[in-house]
Amino acid sequence: MDDTYPPNEYKDDNGNPAGWEVDFTNAIGKKLGLKINYAIAKFDNIIPSITGGKDDFGMSSFTDTVEREKQVDFVNYYNAGILWASAKGKNVDPDNACGMKVAVQSTTFEDTDEVPAKSKACTDKGKPAIQALRYDNQDDATNAVILGKADALSADSPVTLYAVSKSSGKLQAAGKTFDVAPYGIPVAKNSDLTPVLQKTIQALIDDGTYKKILDKWGVADGGVTKADLNAAAKG
C-alpha cells in the first residue's frame, strides 16, 4: 500500500495506515481470521513486489487496466472515475486544458494514461501540450494547485472530492466525473489466493459490511454488488 492517497489510504496522526481501503482490507482479514500486515511502498513498486513474491496482494486504489492485467490478476471491488479540481474561482475544463499545468501523483492512471492522452489530443490539433507535474504523493499534488504552481489536479473521484472538502474552500471540482473504471486488488497471476479474496469480498458485500465502510467514508457512489475478476479485459 502507498499510504499517500486520502481518503482511500493515508497515514493517521500516529503514522499508521488509515482510510476506507484500510478499513476494507482489515475487514477482509477479519473475515478470513487473518492478521493484515501492511507493507508501505511507493505506488510503482507494489506490483513488482507482488509478482516477485514479496507481498501477497496490493490495496492501493489500483485502476484495473488491460495493461496491468498482463502482470497481475485483479479482484475488483469498487468503481471510481476521474475528477479534476482547480483553485476556487478558476474555471478549468478538463476537455479544454491545452497548455495548462496539471498536477498528478506519479504512476497513477492519471499520470500514465489520462493526462498524456489529453495532451496528445492537444498536440494533434496543433495546440500546446498539457504539462503534467508529477508528485510522489497526492498531498503534494493537491498543494501545487492551492499554491498556484498548477492550474488543476487530476485524481480518482473519491480522492479529489476529499481534497476539495479538506481545502478550506481553496479548491473546487472542475467539471464532472468521467472515465469510470474498476478498482482491483492486484494478486500474482493464477494465485490460489485470488478466488479466496473474491469470495471473501463478495461475502462482505452480501452481509452489509462493505456498504457500512463506504457510507462511513462518504464514498458509496462507487460501490459494487459483485466482486468481479479482471473486469478491464471483459470491457
**67 lies in the same domain as 89:** no
Residue 235 lies in a domain: no
Instruction: Look at residues 163, 179, 195 and tell me which one is the last residue of a structural domain.
Output: 179
Inside any domain, residue 229:
no
Q: pLDDT tens digits, residue range 53-70?
A: 999 999 999 999 999 999
Average the pLDDT over 148-167 and give the result.
95
Please check whether residues 154 and 213 belong to one and the same domain. no
Same domain as 153, residue 65:
no
Under the banding of pLDDT at 50, 70 and 90, the label for residue 20 is very high
| Domain identity same for 30 and 60 | yes
Same domain, 140 and 58: no
Domain carrying residue 92: 81-179
Number of domains in the chain: 2
What SS3 class is residue 198?
Answer: helix
Running DSSP on this structure, what letter comes out for residue 167? T
pLDDT value of residue 221: 86
One domain, residues 71 and 92: no
User: What predicted TM-score, i.e. pTM, was given to this entire model?
Assistant: 0.85
- Polymer length of the chain: 235
Burial 196-234 (b: 16+ CB within 10 A, else e): ebbebbbbbbeeebbeebbeebebeebebeebbbbbbee
CATH number at residue 163: 3.40.190.10
**Inside any domain, residue 234:** no
